[in-house]
């Protein structure tokens, strides 16, 4: 590995390669409950060409490569399960182009969500991107490639749906462009070509290293508001969501429930945010939202919660810092999180499954859902805080996580950004021909199996 170390130093510069114990420790784990797995080297490239040279070297030598953005996935996807090189992509953080008319931005994959948000506010104040509720240091690349979602997902779908195209270094070292950019100087769309973006999205870094992405941008309206609907019955939530989404005015639509074992009468809330060009339009949209769920207001089975302006501001905050603060709920520094992509109609069952798991493990549960694409599905999440200093507490969160994955699959959902054990759970439920196709595709793209090995493999 010493020779490899020297070659990597020549590629990216000596200061951006490390085999020190400190970096190996840090890049062997993330904030979730998965056990650490040590890299041999950590490398920080600065260009697609540097990534290409690193990948070519790894391919020649058969060394595993694990691409990493913000490393905030919580499910340990950037742990190098079979050692090798962790590629920290965050030096590649340039914003390369904003097209105001066709509303897209081209960024390097390591660009942070926060940096893009700040850049747009300053230079293109009438445009915004969909910001996830991950901390702002989370990268655009990492989030898109795990099918992330965010503050415009109700209006426009998963972040992967908002991606117009990619530049990717293939596991054999070629640089390929996916989408309109493969044929045109513009990064306007993935259509009408065969959509090869699917070869890289949702694969958790097992098919290549994405170096650039074009993302759709959306109008940043001057007037914004949030409304919160509450009902005592979780089984009403799917219809509430369906009706609110049907109004087609919301940008973001979330439900939230905090459950503590032993507590009763936990009411789910549904939060809808929306923007407008004028105050009048805002009022008009507010009325549309109200009318969409009038049935429940008239029946007195639900209603909107009045709340002061400072609370409203918190609902509109992107990203929402409250979610990060959940990590200190047990004065412990960690939370584990199962986000499962599910149909809306099983909201009530998912909620009850979460309550049952919380009671079984005596653990606080942050549950909720982000509605994707006008309620075509939801990312339902079960989150369990743990105390990092107490191994038994970490283990309990890990067990709750596994139980949640099982529950989600049983209900008909699919765990999102699944950790390696959850991938095994998914594969068990998956159509075998689908898994076989995945393997065939991967063996073509990555004949030496160097890309994030240990993921999406049968043990």
Our finding on whether 80 is near other proteins (CB under 8 A) is no
Alpha-carbon distances of 366 from 186, 227, 267, 354, 381, rounded to whole Å = 42, 20, 13, 9, 8
Minimum CB distance to other proteins smaller for 77 or for 253 = 77
Stretch that binds other proteins, among 216-224, 292-300, 317-325, 445-453 (CB under 8 A): 317-325
Question: Binder to other proteins among 4, 8, 11, 27 (CB under 8 A)?
Answer: 27
State the minimum distance, in angstroms, from the CB of residue 321 to other proteins: 5
Our finding on whether 16 is near other proteins (CB under 8 A) is yes
Measured between alpha carbons, how far is 170 from 181 in angstroms, rounded to an integer? 16
Question: Binder to other proteins among 2, 3, 22, 431 (CB under 8 A)?
Answer: 22
Measured between alpha carbons, how far is 7 from 57 in angstroms, rounded to an integer? 8
Measured between alpha carbons, how far is 364 from 360 in angstroms, rounded to an integer? 11
Question: Binder to other proteins among 132, 171, 334, 368 (CB under 8 A)?
Answer: 334
Measured between alpha carbons, how far is 223 from 276 in angstroms, rounded to an integer? 5
Our finding on whether 15 is near other proteins (CB under 8 A) is yes
Residues 383 to 422 in contact with other proteins, rule: CB under 8 A: 387-389
Question: Binder to other proteins among 71, 157, 250, 383 (CB under 8 A)?
Answer: 71
Our finding on whether 114 is near other proteins (CB under 8 A) is yes
State the minimum distance, in angstroms, from the CB of residue 121 to other proteins: 7
Our finding on whether 333 is near other proteins (CB under 8 A) is yes
State the minimum distance, in angstroms, from the CB of residue 116 to other proteins: 9
Question: Binder to other proteins among 2, 21, 306, 431 (CB under 8 A)?
Answer: 21
Our finding on whether 72 is near other proteins (CB under 8 A) is yes
State the minimum distance, in angstroms, from the CB of residue 123 to other proteins: 11
Stretch that binds other proteins, among 283-291, 332-340, 376-384, 405-413 (CB under 8 A): 332-340
Residue closest to 31 by CA, chosen among 65, 74, 70, 66: 74
State the minimum distance, in angstroms, from the CB of residue 95 to other proteins: 11
Our finding on whether 88 is near other proteins (CB under 8 A) is yes
Question: Binder to other proteins among 9, 99, 172, 324 (CB under 8 A)?
Answer: 324
Measured between alpha carbons, how far is 32 from 11 in angstroms, rounded to an integer? 32
Stretch that binds other proteins, among 17-25, 146-154, 167-175, 207-215 (CB under 8 A): 17-25
Our finding on whether 18 is near other proteins (CB under 8 A) is yes
Question: Binder to other proteins among 121, 311, 313, 429 (CB under 8 A)?
Answer: 121
Stretch that binds other proteins, among 20-28, 198-206, 243-251, 349-357 (CB under 8 A): 20-28
Question: Binder to other proteins among 53, 90, 243, 285 (CB under 8 A)?
Answer: 90
Stretch that binds other proteins, among 13-21, 155-163, 395-403, 422-430 (CB under 8 A): 13-21
Triad 22, 392, 354: Cα angle to 5°: 110
* Residues that contact other proteins, how many (by CB under 8 A): 44
Question: Binder to other proteins among 325, 356, 434, 443 (CB under 8 A)?
Answer: 325
Measured between alpha carbons, how far is 104 from 451 in angstroms, rounded to an integer? 29
Q: Specify whether the CB–CB gap between 82 and 452 falls below 8 A.
A: no
Count CB-CB contacts under 10 A for residue 356. 13
Question: Binder to other proteins among 47, 117, 172, 359 (CB under 8 A)?
Answer: 117
Our finding on whether 232 is near other proteins (CB under 8 A) is no
Our finding on whether 321 is near other proteins (CB under 8 A) is yes
Question: Binder to other proteins among 4, 11, 44, 355 (CB under 8 A)?
Answer: 44
Our finding on whether 135 is near other proteins (CB under 8 A) is yes
Our finding on whether 327 is near other proteins (CB under 8 A) is yes
Measured between alpha carbons, how far is 82 from 80 in angstroms, rounded to an integer? 5
What is the binding site for other proteins (CB under 8 A)? 15-16, 18, 20-23, 25-27, 31, 42, 44, 70-72, 88, 90-91, 112-115, 117-119, 121-122, 135-137, 321, 324-325, 327-328, 331-335, 387-389
């Amino acid at each position: 590995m010493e020779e490899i170390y020297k070659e990597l130093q020549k590629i990216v510069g000596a200061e951006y390669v490390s085999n020190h114990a400190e970096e190996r420790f840090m890049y062997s784990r993330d904030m979730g409950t998965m056990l650490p797995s040590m890299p041999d080297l950590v490398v920080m490239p600065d260009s697609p060409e540097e990534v290409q040279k690193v990948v070519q070297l790894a391919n020649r030598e058969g060394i595993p490569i694990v691409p990493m953005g913000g490393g905030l996935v919580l499910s340990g996807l950037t742990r190098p399960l079979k050692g090798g090189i962790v590629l920290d992509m965050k030096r590649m953080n340039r914003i390369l182009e904003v097209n105001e008319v066709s509303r897209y931005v081209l960024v390097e994959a390591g660009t942070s969500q926060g940096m893009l948000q700040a850049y747009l506010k300053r230079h293109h104040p009438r445009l915004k991107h969909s910001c996830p509720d991950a901390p702002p240091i989370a990268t655009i690349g990492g989030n898109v490639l795990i099918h992330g979602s965010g503050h415009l997902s109700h209006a426009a779908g998963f972040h992967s749906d908002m991606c117009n195209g990619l530049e990717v270094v293939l596991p054999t070292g070629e640089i390929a462009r996916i989408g309109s950019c493969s044929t045109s100087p513009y990064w306007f769309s993935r259509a009408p070509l065969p959509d090869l973006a699917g070869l890289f999205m949702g694969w958790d870094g097992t098919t290549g290293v994405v170096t650039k992405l074009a993302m759709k941008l959306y109008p940043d309206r001057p007037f914004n508001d949030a409304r919160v609907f509450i009902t005592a019955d979780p089984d009403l939530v799917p219809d509430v969501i369906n009706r609110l989404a049907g109004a087609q005015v919301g940008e973001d639509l979330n439900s939230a429930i905090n459950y503590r074992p032993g507590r009763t009468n936990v009411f789910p809330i549904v939060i809808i945010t929306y923007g407008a060009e004028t105050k009048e339009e805002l009022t008009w949209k507010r009325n549309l939202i109200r009318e969409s769920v009038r049935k429940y207001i008239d029946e007195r089975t639900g209603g909107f919660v009045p709340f002061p302006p400072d609370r409203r501001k918190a609902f509109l905050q992107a990203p929402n810092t409250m979610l990060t603060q959940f990590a200190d709920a047990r004065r412990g520094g960690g939370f584990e999180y199962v986000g499962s992509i599910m149909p809306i109609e099983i909201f009530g069952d998912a909620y009850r499954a979460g309550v049952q798991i919380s009671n079984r493990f005596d653990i606080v549960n942050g549950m909720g859902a982000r509605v994707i694409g006008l309620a075509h599905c939801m990312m339902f999440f079960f989150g369990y805080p743990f105390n990092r200093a107490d191994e038994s507490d970490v283990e309990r969160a890990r067990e709750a996580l596994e139980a949640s994955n099982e529950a989600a699959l049983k209900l008909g959902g699919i765990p999102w950004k699944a950790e390696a054990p959850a991938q095994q759970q998914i594969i068990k439920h998956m159509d075998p021909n689908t898994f076989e196709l995945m393997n065939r595709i991967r063996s073509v793209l990555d004949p030496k199996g160097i890309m994030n090995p240990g993921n999406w493999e049968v043990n």
